[in-house]
Structure 1
């Protein structure tokens, strides 16, 4: 049994990183396990450190076992992704702002789309080795998080220039729970719709229209994790869905089953990972 699939940790994020790190999560188990679970879109890339068994990642049926214990999981779009774990579950995730991969790792979000990227493919090999050595010497979650924070701080000197209009658009999307159109966003930031769509998809990794849908659905999950599942229909309406049919249709497209079947199914624990992590 998983002791915790994805627990939000109450850990103070350094002031200089608050723009880039949204929250910190940890998943762990006391005993070895053999399990397969799906992964769905949340709207956030995640910097992951695996301190126990390294899982196998399957993307549309193609399986790979990461060669690095430090990885970046990118945005997800129109892909069937699952994780097979045979061993103890132990991972720390720094949930990143949607623009962090672009700002700090100097790569567009599209580079990470539907991928769990090994760190040696993103940073120089020497830096990856030093980071993994430092992390492997840690005995506690606190120590691991401190090492990851120090690493991110070291990237600030070479970060890309900020794209203020894109930050404004993303902030607006979160403030409205995804319940806004890309046309309204392009007007808000005074950018042509064509350029807005193109740049957003390049930097974030997915289109603004799909990103809004992801945030809207995860806003439902956020509320679902703190209330009775019997109120699911009302929660959907509160989050801007026109009616139950509209909500169920979007849910099936992103999750692959109806809300009720998912919540009563064997992978319902995944909802602990879903939901907005605040921004």
Structure 2
């Protein structure tokens, strides 16, 4: 194995161990807020910087070990809290830098959870890691201390679920129109127009766009593109890499040019350059949940 392939294999190993989906049962009462549990850690010190691409779902994460650094547009952000909520991604130049021993455990959340449970508009979390203690200071300070003192990593999930359950007792009322909209977007793999969605929920297009973006943090058109692109990556994982055009058509793209434009808009590069570039390992954490 030459050096390039060795580095590529190492990066893939690191990323796959960065956010493994756990076989962890989410309580029925919280399934409308939580998708699944994830866990990742390095067994030794690592030094790597990799891009973060949109997948449509926010995260509630407890970081243990050394703290990572977030890079946005050349600006370095050092998280001050070990319990963070990461929102929607709408940036081509968002990267995470790891330098040390890394560990994280937490949950993939529904797109509406930051609004319903944490009672903040989606734009508050957009392209950001927000400290939970700054969002709900009365509850999270004690929670962080409890998490830090917990020796068993997996036991942290139950502690965090108890926290989410308390928040659910004071959650914002659900918006049936929004829940229905998201269900349609996911069911159609993002292949539905804004006009159609607005018509289904009985809103004017302008009002629909404004309300959707207010809660989710990105426009419905952009969110549909994110789901459509991640559907492509899900198919890509089990397909022949040489058949990009066929896979793109299967995901609803009209032609290769249409696919290339959306790919560049969301990923920041052409499909071929991305898949043959230094950051091609990032495709391992893209796909459908």
- TM-score range relative to shorter protein: over 0.9
Q: Residue 91 in 1 paired to residue 104 in 2?
A: yes
* 5+ long unaligned stretches in structure 1: none
Query: Which sits farther off after the overlay, 66-75 or 253-262?
Result: 253-262
Greater mean deviation of Cα atoms: 71-80 or 196-205: 71-80
Change (3 A) 1:235 1:141: farther
Tell me, yes or no, if structure 1 residue 131 matches structure 2 residue 143: yes
* TM-score where L is the length of structure 2: 0.91
| Map of 2:129 onto structure 1 | 116
Deviation at 1:225, TM superposition (A): 2.5
Q: Secondary structure at the match of 1:25?
A: strand
1:70 and 2:83 aligned: yes
**Contact 2:106/2:157 (8 A) holds in 1:** no
2:213 match: 201
The counterpart of 1:164, out of the listed 158, 176, 198, is 176
| 1:268 CA drift (Å) | 2.0
Alignment partners' CA distance in 2, 1:271 and 1:17:
29
Count of aligned positions? 276
User: How far did 1:79 drift?
Assistant: 4.7
- 1:7 paired residue number: 20
Please give the per-residue CA displacement for 1:101-122, whole angstroms capped at 9, x wherever unaligned.
0000011111111111111211
Deviation at 1:233, TM superposition (A): 2.3
The CA RMSD measured in Å over matched residues stands at: 1.4
In 2, Cα distance between equivalents of 1:226 and 1:133? 42
Aligned-pair distance for 1:142?
2.2
Unaligned runs of at least 5 residues, structure 2: 1-9
> Is the CA contact (8 Å cut-off) linking 2:147 and 2:156 kept in structure 1?
yes
Deviates more, 1:187-196 or 1:73-82: 73-82
Secondary structure of 1:92's match? strand
1:250 alignment counterpart? 262
Matched residue SS, 2:18 = strand
* Contact 1:50-1:92 within 8 A present in 2 as well: yes
CA–CA separation in structure 2 for the residues paired with 1:197 and 1:244: 28
TM-score, normalising length from structure 1?
0.94
Comparing 85-94 with 197-206, which one deviates more in the overlay?
A: 85-94
Which residue does 2:39 correspond to in 1? 26
